[in-house]
Amino acid sequence: MRVLAVIPARLASTRLPRKPLREIAGEPMLGYVYRAAAESGVLSPDDVLIATDSDEVLSLCRSRGWNAELTSDRHRSGTERVHEVAQRHPADVYFNIQGDEPLTRAEHIRDLLALMQRPDIEIGTLKTPMRADDINNPNAVKVVTAADGRALYFSRATIPHDRDGSGPRYCKHLGFYAYRRDALDRFCSLPESELERTERLEQLRFLENGLSIYVAETAHDTIGVDTEDDLRRVDAILRARR
For the chain, how many structural domains are there in total?
1
pLDDT in tens, 101-155: 999 999 999 999 999 999 999 999 999 999 999 999 998 999 999 999 999 999 9
Q: How many degrees, rounded to 5, is the angle at CA 134 between CA 10 and CA 229?
A: 50
Cβ atoms within 10 A of the Cβ of 63, count? 8
The DSSP symbol for 43 reads S
pLDDT confidence of residue 57: 95
CA 150 to chain CA mean position, Å: 18
Cβ atoms within 10 A of the Cβ of 210, count? 7
pLDDT in tens, 160-203: 999 999 999 999 999 999 999 999 999 999 999 999 999 999 99
pTM: 0.93
Q: 17 pLDDT band (50/70/90 cuts)?
A: confident
pLDDT in tens, 57-71: 999 999 999 999 999
Residue 100 has pLDDT above 80, yes or no: yes
Domain containing 174 equals 3-240
Query: Distance (Å, rounded) from C-alpha 11 to C-alpha 55?
Result: 10
Q: What are the C-alpha distances in Å from 182 to residues 38, 48, 190, 197?
A: 25, 20, 13, 23
Query: Distance (Å, rounded) from C-alpha 67 to C-alpha 48?
Result: 7
**CATH code, domain with 226:** 3.90.550.10
In three-state secondary structure terms, 46 is: helix
